[in-house]
Amino acid sequence: MKSNSHSSVEPMCALDPLLLIPRIEYAEDIYEYVRSQARDFCLVILDMKNFHVINDIHGYDTGDVVIRTFIHDLRQQLPRGSVSLRFRHGDEFLFFLPVTPGVARSLFESFQKLSESRPASGMPADSDIFVSYRFGVIELNRDNREDVKGLLRRAELALRQVKGQASPRS
Q: Looking at residue 134, which CATH number applies to its domain? A: 3.30.70.270
Contact 28, 94 (CB under 8 A): no
Residue 170 covered by a domain = no
Residue 56 makes CB contacts below 8 A (sequence gap 6+) with none
pLDDT digits (tens, 9 = 90+) for 98-155: 999 999 999 999 999 998 888 788 777 777 778 889 999 999 877 778 899 999 999 9
Q: What is the domain range of residue 147?
A: 12-163
Mean predicted confidence (pLDDT) in 160-167: 78
pTM of the model: 0.85
Domain assignment present for 23: yes
Instruction: Report the chain's mean pLDDT, rounded to a whole number.
Output: 85
Asked whether residue 138 is domain-assigned, the answer is: yes
Number of domains in the chain: 1
Q: Is 129 within a domain?
A: yes
Residue 93 to residue 137: CA distance in whole angstroms:
12
Q: What is the mean pLDDT of residues 51-57?
A: 87
Return the CA Rg of the chain.
16
| pLDDT above 80 for 10 | no
CB atoms within 10 A of CB 37: 13
Report yes or no on 79 lying in a domain. Answer: yes
Phi and psi at residue 125, in whole multiples of 5°? -60, -30
